[in-house]
Structure 1
Amino acid sequence: MLDVKNLVFAYPNQSVPWNFNFTVEPGQCIAIHGASGSGKSTLMNLLAGFLDPQSGDILWQNKSVRSHAPWQRPMTSVFQEHNLFEHLSVETNIGLGIHPGLKLTQENRQAIERGLQRVGLGGFEKRLPGDLSGGQRQRVALLRALLRKQSVLLLDEPLTGLDSEARGLIRQLLLEQKAHGTLIVLASHDEEDRRILADSVFSL
């Protein structure tokens, strides 16, 4: 269970701080809904450990992870910037998510190949991010996060820039992740994404 308890944060020039409170069970998706500037991306960064709250706590399975560094948390995230290494191939970018030292097993490499097929990027293993469209880059970033197999998946507008076919492929993958017990925190402006994927909505 992910329990966000009275998590308070404000930027230096912000007069009224945000206060986040919600609970999500494994295998469920909570959609974070609000206008631009309402705090969706800030919440994602707090959960991932890239920002430190002024007060409150983040509990995973009843244990606090607030003091944990990002890589120590049972979470993986996909933000709008994609965060791909431009000089490395698609295969290597995904492989780094599985093992930071790229010590990949044959099973890992097969999973990458199968995953690229699933997201409509079969045969793209050796391409560089600069050779991809924005939507293709987003699919690579999503696949890297999925193959990390962390307990919590943080998605900030993950389907932005994807055409209807690609959105359908990714939605199906995310539904499969939920069925396997992955907990998803989804920030999305898209009402259909929320309707298909979310079990609950937290409005800001």
Structure 2
Amino acid sequence: MTPKTTDGLHLETISIALDGRTLLSLSAHVRPGEILTVMGPSGAGKSALLAYICGFLDPVFTGSGRILIDGGDLTGIAAEKRRCGMLFQDPLLFPHLSVGGNLLFGLTPSIAQRDQRRRMVEQALIDVELEGFYDRDPATLSGGQKARVALQRVMLSAPRLLLLDEPFSKLDSDLRQQTRGLIFARAKSAGLPVVLVTHDQADADAAGGPVIVIGEDNRT
């Protein structure tokens, strides 16, 4: 898939507050295929920022500011209509579904034919070197394999943007580097604007895009 010619993601004067105290305030333009890294310590509002972008901010927080993608305003749209792809610290695979079942769950419902859906899932597994894993129990997968299945589930949902909530933090050093490279490469090849939140400088270096630092120092 080649990157689409679009304007990308605009975050306009986004502010997240808790109990009347502003945790973060930022504006950014994330171009298609670009990765914006937001760095900061625990409690700085990083995960709340992603939740606000996706439309499911916990009501204990207060969020404001506009979210635009390719000229369209997502700010007032329901979460399920925003087409945000999101990866978390844990893969969050459904334990009652096979690997293939997990991927079918992510596949956009606009593809209705059963045979076509099966072929797309099988190809998605081949693309991440998991050929033959369709019927596997997710509990039998390694950490890296679970991360790859979670990535492909997100990509099959045809997202307009990708949000990464420290998805590498629980992986060992070698696996972290490998998984990071795969996720970044897939997002860039699909032309997705990406927002990564992390406290790890190595993640920011690997992303290779702009970096915003939040927290007590208020550095940018």
> Normalising by the residue count of structure 2, what TM-score does the alignment of the two structures yield?
0.78
Corresponding position: 1:97 with 2:103: no
- Structure 1 gap segments, 5+ residues each: none
Contact 2:15 2:23 in 1 (8 A): yes
Corresponding position: 1:4 with 2:14: no
Partner of 2:32: 26
Partner of 1:16: 22
Contact 2:89 2:170 in 1 (8 A): no
CA offset digits 1:131-179 (Å, max 9, x no partner): 3344433322112112223220111112233352574255145224313
Cα distance between partner residues in 2 of 1:172 and 1:141: 12
Cα distance between partner residues in 2 of 1:54 and 1:173: 28
Contact 1:118 1:169 in 2 (8 A): no
Partner of 2:81: 72
Partner of 1:174: 184
- Structure 2 gap segments, 5+ residues each: 1-7, 215-220
Structure 1 100/180 Cα, relative in aligned 2: closer, same or farther at 3 Å?
A: closer
Corresponding position: 1:127 with 2:133: no
> Normalising by the residue count of structure 1, what TM-score does the alignment of the two structures yield?
0.84
Deviates more, 1:97-106 or 1:167-176: 97-106
Partner of 2:217: none
Contact 1:29 1:183 in 2 (8 A): yes
Contact 1:90 1:140 in 2 (8 A): yes
Partner of 1:187: 197
* Corresponding residue to 1:116 among 121, 125, 129: 125
Corresponding position: 1:58 with 2:64: no
CA offset digits 1:32-58 (Å, max 9, x no partner): 111122111111111111117442211
Corresponding position: 1:203 with 2:210: no
How many residues align structurally? 203
Partner of 1:35: 41
Kindly provide the amino acid, as one letter, of the partner of residue 36 in structure 1.
S
Contact 1:175 1:197 in 2 (8 A): no
Contact 2:39 2:200 in 1 (8 A): no
Kindly provide the amino acid, as one letter, of the partner of residue 150 in structure 1.
P
Kindly provide the amino acid, as one letter, of the partner of residue 12 in structure 2.
K
Partner of 1:49: 55
Matched position secondary structure for 2:48: helix
Q: CA RMSD in A?
A: 2.6
Cα distance between partner residues in 2 of 1:101 and 1:149: 10
Matched position secondary structure for 1:187: strand
| Deviation (angstroms), 1:30 | 0.7
Matched position secondary structure for 2:195: strand
Kindly provide the amino acid, as one letter, of the partner of residue 15 in structure 1.
R
Cα distance between partner residues in 2 of 1:107 and 1:179: 23
* Corresponding residue to 1:83 among 92, 95, 101: 92
